[in-house]
Amino acid sequence: MSSPRYWRGIPQRYRLEAGKCKKCGKIYFPPRLICDECKSREFEKVNLPKEGKILTYTIIRVAPSQCTDQAPYAMGIVELSAGSTGKDGVKILSQIADCDFDKLEIGMPVRIEFRKIYQEGEAGIICYGYKCVPV
């Protein structure tokens, strides 16, 4: 991965920075330039909550080349807590780290942690980001 491409993603990968539509309140992760609900172009920066629950999961046994050293690993779609907004929480896809594969289940509570995602060989970039872990 090129340095500029990696650098551009840092606010999302390190801090879960999202965009909240100033008009209708919908939250986008990653941030967008236009709201698909109300077409507003005004957003404020918000950080996503660090707690959520697993909506679905899998265990990747045959991994892409950059992740073969980690396989098998669990991945899930996680709905982050929406608090008292009354809306659906933002959904993300991430690895589920530090888990017992047999104990994974839909609905399981998780929290988001900052982790290493993969390393591009001896001399390449070390790619960081978010993973979730069972609470």
Partner 1 sequence: MRDVAIIGVGMNKWGELWESSLRDIFTEAALLAIEDAEVDHIDSMYIGCMSSGLFVGQEHLSSLLTDYLGMGPIPATRVESACSSGGLALRTGLIDVASGMNDIVLVGGVEKMTDVSVHGATFALSTAADQEYEVYHGVTFPGLYALMARAHMHRYGTTRKQLAQVAVKNHYHGSMNPLAQYPQKITAEEVIESVMVADPLRILDCSPITDGAAAVILAPLDLAKKISKKPVVKIIGSGHATDTIALHSRKDLTEIKSTERAAKIAYEMASKSPEEIHLAEVHDCFTIAEICVIEALGFAEKGKGGPATEHGMTTLGGKIPVNTSGGLKSKGHPVGATGVAQAIEITKQLRGEAGERQVKNAKVGLTQNMGGSGGSSIVHIMEVV
Give the DSSP per-residue string, 103-121: G--TT-EEEEEEEEEEE-T
Cα–Cα distance for residue pair 21/87, rounded to 1 Å:
13
Give kind and range of the element (H or E) at residue 10: helix 10-15
Determine which residue in the list 22, 87, 91, 116 makes contact with partner 1, applying CB under 8 A.
Answer: 91
Instruction: Considering the complex, state which of residue 62 and residue 123 has its C-beta at the smaller distance from partner 1.
Output: 62
Distance CA 57, CA 70 (A): 17
Q: What are the beta bridge partners of residue 97?
A: none
Among 16, 92, 99, 112, binds partner 1 (CB under 8 A): 92
Q: Does residue 63 belong to the site contacting partner 1 (CB under 8 A)?
A: yes
Question: Measured from the CB of residue 93, what is the shortest distance to Zn ion in angstroms?
Answer: 23
When CB distances are held under 5 to 8 angstroms depending on the partner's kind, the choice from Zn ion, partner 1, none that residue 75 binds is: partner 1
Interacting residue ranges for Zn ion, rule: CB under 5 A = 21, 23-24, 26, 35, 37-38, 40
